[in-house]
Amino acid sequence: MNMPKHDTIIILDYGSQYSRLIARRVREANVYCELYPWSASPEKIMGHEPKGFILSGGPNSVYDKDAPLLPKYVLESGLPVLGICYGMQLLCHSLGGKVAFSNRHEYGPAELDIDETRNDLFHGWISKEQSDLQIGSRDAGRVWMSHGDKVETLPPHFKAIAHTRNSPLAAASDEDRGLYMVQFHPEVAHTIQGRLIISNFVILICGCKADWTSEIFIKEEISELREKIGNERILLALSGGVDSSVVATLVHRAVGSQLTCLFVDHGLLRQGEAEQVLRTFQKEQGMQLVAINAVEEFMEALSGVLDPEEKRRIIGQLFIRIFEREAKKLGEIRLLAQGTIYPDVIESASRDQSVAHTIKTHHNVGGLPENMKFELIEPLRFLFKDEVRRVGESLQLPPEIIWRQPFPGPGLAIRCLGEITWDRLESLRAADAIFIDELAQADLLRHETQQAFAILLPVRSVGVMGDGRTYKEVIALRAVTTDDFMTADWARLPAELLARASRRIVNEVPGVNRVVFDITSKPPGTIEWE
């Protein structure tokens, strides 16, 4: 594992749905941080030589029988600590304050009033009175609450520093010991000045240098890759997605023609994707790229298959077989570069409490075969998706690749419901391209929707075109807003845009005479239809 050479904040995860957001906010302040389960080994955590700790929120009450604890080393380290929500209650409970048990949940916005404006945590805080002028919003003091229990009596030496109407102790600190606690969630976007609080904690209070930038990352990673790879050859499965594209570019910068990329075109990509991969990496960047046209093999294997799980299994297995076959042709290669990113690492860590070295094939389906014993090189292992994009920008990858939205490993197979035929795939691709084109023209693709796509339904309905009656299939359009893809809301797209997309799809796409828009959030729906 490459230990960071940067000032590091450790976030201990107590199970809040917002824990990852804390990490992202710290990184946005250009400070390196890592997120660990609260029960991670003290040696591992202290091995990072952290400059401070953040304790996340979580679903428990400190009075629960098996309530997660505050590990001893945290306070013993003497380092600054910020407890958020459950983290606040835990700090309070551990230091001799009193937490009031409650069955009632306070959820939603609240107005924060600062009692101690000179406290470092609120340095630069814009008050309600200033806010009209400075940020054009009356909501400057809005914070997001989501808690049951709350702190009733502060531990000795603590001082209340902010309150809301319902929470007289919305924030408190013992500045001498660098201990801070907030009842609300500074990490969520609904807390208007939440970024300021996080940045004040890590920079002013913990004293971290704000030196975690994509340029520095690239410089360090390239020299590290050179050291790790030496004179060996290295293989990479390129999918055209942002992660594998950024890895390919980084490794190529580091070791040039020692890198060979394998690109398997299974015919389930979006419109123009395969061509773009070849253009960007083979022609423009001059990489050694072996492109395998496996469209027929995949179409044959999927013929007549209706069940989505079966589709995934077939695609996963065939991908592996082809990858193995083609990799063998390239001779002995011991190293494999992968686009594993930090959320994959956190997920496997919280599953088995140890940062497992999981294999994520670029197609995310099944993993590479056991008997291919590669040593993995994963340069993006510690980056969030938005950081990967920033690195991609610094590496001057084309915006179409950097801003490409997440795409499932099994590709259009799980968006082409029912039987997969080449004609149906082509209709789906065309409809999807129209929808994406409309969104791009309205500049809604980067920030307003995190994932948008078309689905072809295996349902026919009656329509009328000209003088004739039609009986054709239905396209569903899906567009969601989300922070982490675990929960999502449907994007409130302008009606005019939907009207244009629908008109164009029905007119231009063969086999389709009706368009519907999916207005289901996740949960209870999922993002994909399958």
Contact between 451 and ligand XMP by CB under 6 A: the answer reads yes
Q: Do 25 and 187 form a contact (C-beta atoms < 8 A)?
A: yes
Given the residues 185, 252, 266, 362, select the one marked as catalytic: 185
Contact between 411 and ligand XMP by CB under 6 A: the answer reads no
Contact between 485 and ligand XMP by CB under 6 A: the answer reads yes
Residue 328 CB, shortest distance to ligand XMP, in Å, is: 25
Residue 179 CB, shortest distance to ligand XMP, in Å, is: 38
Q: Do 35 and 19 form a contact (C-beta atoms < 8 A)?
A: yes
Contact between 528 and ligand XMP by CB under 6 A: the answer reads yes
Per DSSP, helices labelled H in 47-127 are 72-76, 86-94
Among 282, 350, 364, 521, interactor with ligand XMP by CB under 6 A:
364
Q: Which is nearer to ligand XMP, 364 or 421 (CB)?
A: 364
Given the residues 6, 33, 34, 85, select the one marked as catalytic: 85
Q: Do 124 and 154 form a contact (C-beta atoms < 8 A)?
A: no
d(CA 228, CA 449): 38
Q: Torsion angle of alpha carbons 524, 525, 526, 530, nearest 10°?
A: 140
Pick left, alpha or beta for residue 380 (phi over 0 → left; psi -120 to 50 → alpha; otherwise beta): alpha
Among 109, 168, 367, 406, interactor with ligand XMP by CB under 6 A:
406
DSSP states of 184-240:
S-TTSTTSTTHHHHHHIIIIIIS-------HHHHHHHHHHHHHHHHTT--EEEE--S
Among 226, 228, 500, 522, interactor with ligand XMP by CB under 6 A:
522
Contact between 526 and ligand XMP by CB under 6 A: the answer reads yes
Residue 490 CB, shortest distance to ligand XMP, in Å, is: 12
Contact between 241 and ligand XMP by CB under 6 A: the answer reads no
Q: Which is nearer to ligand XMP, 403 or 485 (CB)?
A: 485
Q: Which range, of 32-40, 174-182, 402-410, 489-497, touches ligand XMP by CB under 6 A?
A: 402-410
Residue 309 CB, shortest distance to ligand XMP, in Å, is: 10
d(CA 340, CA 344): 6
Q: Please say if 129 is a catalytic residue.
A: no
Q: Which is nearer to ligand XMP, 177 or 522 (CB)?
A: 522
Q: Please say if 187 is a catalytic residue.
A: yes
Q: Please say if 106 is a catalytic residue.
A: no
Contact between 409 and ligand XMP by CB under 6 A: the answer reads yes
d(CA 389, CA 403): 7
Length of the chain measured in residues: 530
Active site residues per annotation: 85, 185, 187
Residues that bind ligand XMP (CB under 6 A): 312, 364-365, 406, 408-410, 451, 485, 522, 526-528
